[in-house]
Amino acid sequence: MKKGTYVLIIFLIFFFIILATIVSFIYFEFGRPPAIKARSYLEVKLSGGLQEKAAPDFLMSMFMGRKPLSMYDIWMNVQKAKVDRRIKGLILRLGYIQCDWAKINELREIILDFRKSGKKVYAVIDEAIDFDKEYYLATACDKIILHPQGLMVINGIGGYIPFIKKTLDKLGVEAEVEHVEEYKTASSMFTEEGFTPAHKEMMESIYENIFSQYIKVIAETRGKSETEIKKLIDHGYFQANKAKESGLVDELLYEDEFESFLQEEGEKIHKITYEQYSKIKPSSLGLNKGKKIALIYGIGLIHTGEGLLGQTMGSSTVARLIRRARKDKSIAAVVFRVDSPGGSSVASDIIGREVALTKKEKPVIVSMSDVAGSGGYWVSMAAHKIVAQPQTLTGSIGVVFTKFNLVKLYEKIGITGEKLTYGKRADIFSTFRRLTPEERDFIKQEILWTYEQFLIKVADGRNMKREEVDKIGKGRVWTGSQAKEQGLVDEIGGLSKAIELAKELAGIPADEEVKLVVWPKKVSFFNALIRKRLSYTNLGLNPRLEKMFSTFKVLERERTLVLMPFWIAPE
């Protein structure tokens, strides 16, 4: 065959693959709702990445037959299953879940609320290695089932927090940092070889608080004392039979045995997947109708400009959505769901301003997820009420400026530069020189001013005195339960609690259904593909290093940051 014929054949093959992928994706997302049989169990596979609100992922839909997991979709599906008479119970197939403790705690609340209907929930585990968060979730279920050959490892929380100053020294890279105040440790990994006293105090406080909550809940749900649970965690490793003998799991079953276990009086049971059930409209079950409440998502690093759905919080995007909700007279209240470690102080203030303006016209409730600290707290502080999980990481009221100079690196590899500037500080951000003492003092005064603005705005939003905010500020990160004690958070709970408060402040009866207007909406297939490509970074490094470099990429033009530490969670 001629060369042109080969090219044509290859083109046609790729064309039909892409066409099949698109058709499969459209069917998967928008196909006809399934027929659900009576006595069906909703089966949810909880493993991998867990987002707040997921953008469409056609590759996952096409090749894995799965939707990207999101907190909103799980919450809505379980709400539906709770009132759906055809659904007999839930089966949670638990694997390693990539999220932090606050999302796990909210999943527990979702499961416990579902159980109030009288329906059963079963956690099914094949193997559980480094499974503390997932086990904490499993204890919300009626029964925990482990594979007869499965290994259960629950060995506590924590690990190592890396500091790379020595590495930077060897490379000839110097981080020049100014921060307010001693607990603002976002840059410590670049400037320190280990914990400062304040950094250590803060981290120990956070993880002792999360661990004590973990122990308390497990002891209560498994009918043991906290001392007994601590001993089991110190032991750490349990083969299946030992896990059952120790009371960590209820049953050891193969899949066929589990099927028999579910059947009662010989009646056949059925299963429906999470993906299938997602096509069932809430309105068909009497849910998600009535007066409107806007549910607006603010996810990821905060920066100026437009954001990427489910990945970054662009000030233009989020401010526009909040403004839209304020001006829409059909919307009775706003729930602002925040999952962000912060970012640009300017971008945070743009969003915070819209929250404050909206507060004057209708109820605004903030619902915090895993993290809502620094800039994530800035965008939240003006709301009528702030709701957080006990393990949410929040606060971090402080400011940091970071610049890297590469003077020694350039010397090592022979790069030279000639200075050509017009303006006293034209080269202040240049990697070719260090900051002068006068410039460092200048920058310190600038970030002190930003910190002062932060304090004043928190004091105004939280009805506190500026001195009270300064005392609990200084860059310190608090857990949600600690933040409530300090007055930074109003209520402990999740999205359901936030909606409950929004209804209360809007004068909507507690037992009346509301329609959630969710923003940002789903993006189109092609837009999702383009955005995924533009936002993807892969340097072949440790995932946390990848995240760090992605952070630099997003914030490279924004120097004054209200940002939490990269490694708040030890490895």
Supply the residues annotated as catalytic: 374
> Are 56 and 65 in contact, with CB atoms under 8 Å apart?
no
Q: 3-class DSSP state for residue 483?
A: helix
Neighbours of 14 (CB within 10 A): 10
218 and 136 in contact (C-beta within 8 Å)? Answer: yes
CB atoms within 10 A of CB 339: 26
Under 8 Å CB-to-CB from 130, ≥6 apart: which residues? 96, 153, 155
Q: Are 209 and 481 in contact (CB under 8 A)?
A: yes
Give the pair of three-digit tokens for residue 430.
């240049």
Nearest Cα to Cα of residue 352 among 386, 402, 392:
386
Strand spans (E) along 327-453: 331-340, 342-344, 364-373, 385-388, 393-395, 399-405
- 161, 112, 160: which is closest to 136 by C-alpha? 112
Distance CA 47, CA 55 (A): 17
Residue 211 burial by Cβ neighbours in a 10 Å radius (0-12, 13-18, 19+): middle
Q: Which of 93, 92, 98 is nearest to 110 (CA)?
A: 92
> Please, are residues 391 and 371 in contact by the beta-carbon 8 Å criterion?
no
Nearest 10 degrees: CA dihedral of 527, 533, 537, 542?
90
CA–CA dist 498, 513 (Å, integer): 14
Report residue 356: phi and psi, to 5°.
-65, -40
* Nearest partner of 249 among 260, 239, 259, judged by Cα: 239
Residue with tokens 């929040």: 394
How far is it, in rounded angstroms, from Cα 153 to Cα 158? 14
Q: Check: CB of residue 160 under 8 Å from CB of residue 571.
A: yes
